[in-house]
Structures are given as structure tokens and as C-alpha cells.
Amino acid sequence: MAKPTIAGNRTGRKLGQRVKNKKMKASSRQWLQRHINDPYVQRAQLEGYRARAAFKLLEIDEKHSILKGARRIIDLGAAPGSWSQIAAKVTGSTDDDTRVAAIDFLEMAPLPGVKILQLDFLDPSAPAQLIEAVGGTPDLVLSDMAAPTTGHHRTDHLRTMHLCEVAAHFAIEVLGEGGHFLAKTFQGGTERDLLNMLKRHFKQVVHVKPASSRAESVEMFLLAKHFKGRQAEPDVTEA
């Protein structure tokens, strides 16, 4: 897949624009100003992606080739849908032969070739609904889930890490052999038990931070490659 270069401003929009609405709070004005001057935002609009997050997945794939050969993909925390757009394209998914299932508690506009579930992934019925929706064994599970932020770094980290852990257990239950798992996490350390579990089930486990992830953002991505198949859990019973 071609490298997503962004060296030039290909939208025709002048960079360095300032938001002059004085009725807005300063923090809101600064966020909007950063957003409209973000070259990844501008390129996403130009290329028809729903969000700049598309380039995070494309950059990770450029280095790690997780999309190549993917036949069925599950997208967790999918809204607004840029990763699902890429997934539908690489799998050749259509409305008649759906190979991509996406879930989010937020509403998502329809996407060709994507079965969208508006549901909390932590709902007990979600895993079975996703498997039914994707129409077979997935070979890639993506998770861009993050808990709503509270402003307290430790709390936000723990809540998002919980989502990452649940997504990892789901991936291990549903992936086909050789499949991959990619999930958002936060800087501050992935829990050792989670890493150990993934290393038992995958041949390679790494942390990645694509260039399109804002430098000031604490997000990273946990990538587990080449699923070995379901492994027996260690026997922890007492002698």
C-alpha cells in the first residue's frame, strides 16, 4: 500500500488559518484552529476518509502489512468509520457479501460493505452479533476504542486499558490462525499480564506510534501479529 505522504498541502486550503470567533471559549477556539490546520484532516477530506485516523491504520500497515490478504475484519470502536472504509476496500466487502463488521455505541452513517452495530462492545450480546455480522472467521481485529476522558490521567489510562484487554480476549477467541490484532492503548505502560497473554498467543507483539498520531497525544497502538491459534491457559491449580 502506498506510503501516505503529506508533505504538500493538496487541498488548496491555506495552512496557518486562525479562528477569530471571540464568542468561543479559548480552549475551543484553539482546538478548532488546530483541527482546520491539520494536514491529515485536510488530506482525509480530500481522499474521502471520514477521519484523519485512516492514516494511522495506513501507516501501521505500511510497516507491518496487517491488511494484506485480509478476508474478514472486525472493527471495534469504529465511529466515524475511517478504518471500516479501509477494511471494506481491502477485503472487497459488499452489501451482498459482507466481510466487515463494525461496532460503536455512537451512531455511524452507513458504509457500503460494512455491517454496523450501534451497541456498546461491553454488552454481553456484542461478540456473538459481531461474529454473525462478519459472516465467518476474521483474520484481523481492529480496536480504536477509548473510554471517555475524565481529565485524570491515571483513571483514563486504566479505563482504556480495560477496553484494550477485553478486545484482546475477544480477538483470541475469534481470530483465525495467522491473524492479527491492533488496539489503541495509552502511554503509561501496557499491563504485564496482557502482554504476557498476547505473547503466548501471537508470534510478535509490539507497540507502535504512527506519525499521524499527534505528537502531544498519549495514544499508542498495541499490535499482536500472527495468531498461533488458541493456546491452553497455564495450569495455576495448587499441587
Query: Taking the domains of the chain in order of start, what are their residue ranges?
Result: 14-47, 50-227
Q: What does the block give as the cell for 102?
A: 463494525
C-alpha cell of residue 34 = 488546530
- The CATH-assigned architecture of domain 50-227 is 3-Layer(aba) Sandwich (3.40)
Nearby residues of 219 by Cβ (< 8 Å), 6 or more positions away = 146, 184, 185, 186, 187, 209, 213
How many CA atoms does the CB half-sphere of 117 hold within 13 Å? 23
Q: Tens place of pLDDT for every residue, the chain, 239 residues?
A: 444 433 334 444 444 444 445 555 554 444 344 544 556 577 868 887 898 899 999 999 999 999 999 999 999 999 999 999 999 999 999 999 999 999 999 999 999 999 999 999 999 999 999 999 999 999 999 999 988 777 777 777 788 889 999 999 999 999 999 999 999 987 665 678 899 999 999 999 999 998 877 666 778 899 999 999 876 655 544 44
SS3 content of the chain, % helix, strand, coil (to 5): 35, 15, 50
CA–CA separation, 91 and 68 (whole Å):
9
Cα-atom radius of gyration of the chain, to the nearest Å? Answer: 19
pLDDT of residue 231: 66
Residues with Cβ < 8 Å from 40, sequence gap 6 or more? 6, 52, 55, 212
Most distant pair of Cα atoms in the chain: their distance: 71
User: Peptide bond before 112: cis, by omega within 30 degrees of 0?
Assistant: no
Q: Which residues are catalytic?
A: 184
